[in-house]
Amino acid sequence: MTERPHLPIVLVEFFYCTHDSGWKSEDSNLRGCARCKVVGWRIQADKSCIVLAMMRSGEGHCSERLIIPKGAIIHTTELSGKE
Per the confidence metrics, is the pTM higher than 0.95?
no
Summarize pLDDT for 11-38 with one digit per residue, the tens.
999 999 888 788 878 777 777 888 999 9
> What pLDDT, on a 0 to 100 scale, did the predictor assign at position 73?
97
Asked whether the predicted pLDDT for residue 82 surpasses 60, the reply is no
Rg (CA), the chain: 17
Main-chain phi, psi angles of 24, to 5 degrees: -140, 155
More confident residue, 83 or 38: 38
List of domains in the chain: 1-17+32-83 (2.30.30)
Summarize pLDDT for 36-73 with one digit per residue, the tens.
999 999 999 999 999 999 998 878 888 899 999 999 99
